[in-house]
Amino acid sequence: MADLDWPSVVADLEQLLKLRSIPFGMKLFKDRAEMEAIPRIRRPQHVHTLDQVVGQASRLGWTVGITADDLVGAQCRAVVGLGSAKTDAWKSGQHMTGVWFETVEDATAHQAAMHCVPDGQFEALAVGPLASGKLQHPDIALFYATPGAMMYFINGLQWSGYKKFDWGVVGESACADSWGRALTKREPSLSIPCFAERRYGGVLDDEMLMATPPEHLVKAIAGMRALSKNGFRYPFPQYGVQQDVRAGMAVSYAP
């Protein structure tokens, strides 16, 4: 697709959805040197979870490049396909048995349910704010928002060329529901951020995460602008739980 005017796209998202954090992108690199060639890219000085790196982009506005060695373990590496993370031990989920799941069978089923980029294709990943333009042609775009804002964004996606969205909840390791799914299925992917994202990534209690191929942002923005002309805007104004509903409904559905 053509290059997007990222400052304009981000400004539209922030205005329409009243975002409190920075929309950001992810890009995978087959060659580590390509990632390191991004102007003024930051490299971690400590071992991190990928949730922390995402938090540095979405909360601090940093553009950060990582390899498998920068991540704390196989769970983070596996979702984005860095290193050789998907060993038999990882697939068994033994490291999560007795922590998140009662039995090794439960843990194994969880690992199998995750959306993950295949190993061996990429050496590096960069994460950074979309508006900065440092990540040219990001693989996916992401943003955190409240449930109400997410519904409005989805309404925008469905304005033209309606599609029902079916999303799952893997539980812990919910990054597989968001960036893992968007990277592998190339579809808009909504998630309820998990414990690790909230503890280590700075995600707030009322936030959800949308990850999507970039072109869907443009489609949703066009849809939200059409909805706005019909009087549907975020945040949704409260009508009142005891009012006669007919006057309110007539505004939207008058013959």
Express each pLDDT in 211-222 by its tens digit: 999 999 999 999
Distance of CA 213 to the CA centre of its chain: 10
In this prediction, residues 226-233 reach a mean pLDDT of 96
- Give the 3-state secondary structure of residue 181: helix
- pLDDT for 2 beyond 70: no
Strands 124-129 and 24-29: antiparallel
Q: What angle do CA 109, 113, 117 make, to 5 degrees?
A: 130
Query: With bands split at pLDDT 50, 70 and 90, how would you rate the model's confidence at 248?
Result: confident
- The verdict on whether omega for the bond into residue 118 sits within 30 degrees of 0, i.e. cis, is no
DSSP code for 175: G
For the beta carbon of residue 190, count every other beta carbon within 10 angstroms: 22
Res 119: pLDDT: 97
Least confident of 78-82, 108-112, 170-174, 250-254: 250-254
Instruction: Report pLDDT digits (tens) over 126-154.
Output: 999 999 999 999 999 999 999 999 999 99
Q: What is the pTM of this model?
A: 0.95
**pLDDT, averaged across the chain:** 96
The residues pairing with 141 across neighbouring beta strands, listed in sequence order, are 25, 212
